[in-house]
Structure 1
Amino acid sequence: MKPSAVVPAFEEALRQLGVRVRRERGPFRGGLCVVDGEAVVVLNRQHPDEAQAAVLAAALREHGGADELYLRPAVRAALEDAWAQADAGQTAEVADDD
């Protein structure tokens, strides 16, 4: 599954879990945080789809509940592959804009 298709699928899964997804610009990688008591994933809009997919997959793992969601088999496989890559230390690296 192409990263350009994975990103919206992961975003939808997070929305089903009650997590808001925002895109911002700046010198950051992105990730899951809590803003005013609400779970939010912030994505760096300047990063490629591969890096955004890795951030979203990490947020799905950290937030929990993804195992209880119905995800299309291709999306589930992409999520499990992203988790396996993260476990192996093979996440999409993006240089900080510092």
Structure 2
Amino acid sequence: MTKMKPEKLLTLFEELAEKMDINIVQGKGDFQGGMCSLNDESYIVLNKLKPVDQRLGVLVKEFSKMNLKKIFIQPALREYILDTQQELL
């Protein structure tokens, strides 16, 4: 797997979310994060108090639930998602 800085991966996830009309919101609180919908808009909520690796894990988990086959994803990000999915199994 190509090693990419976590901050760059977050940026790539933000770009992917924008393409898919999903809002990524970072907040503080006592929660893990995840996907939700409000007024016909989709959101992935991340806890900015959690380590970046944990926030990336939430993004992988949520994007893994979606059909990404017809969406262009940067190869490094697609590889990261697939590799991380395998680790979670």
- The correspondence for 1:52, drawn from 51, 55, 63, is 55
TM-score for both structures, normalised by structure 2 = 0.86
Count, aligned residues: 86
- The equivalent residue for 2:81 is 79
Identity of aligned residues (%): 26
CA contact (8 A) 2:12 2:74 kept: no
The 2-side partners of 1:22 and 1:78 are apart by 21
Q: Which runs of 4+ in 1 moved over 2 A?
A: none
> What displacement does 1:3 show?
1.8
Gaps of 5+ in 1: 88-98
Gaps of 5+ in 2: none
- The equivalent residue for 2:11 is 8
Higher relative contact order at CA 8 Å, sep ≥6: structure 1 or structure 2? Answer: 1
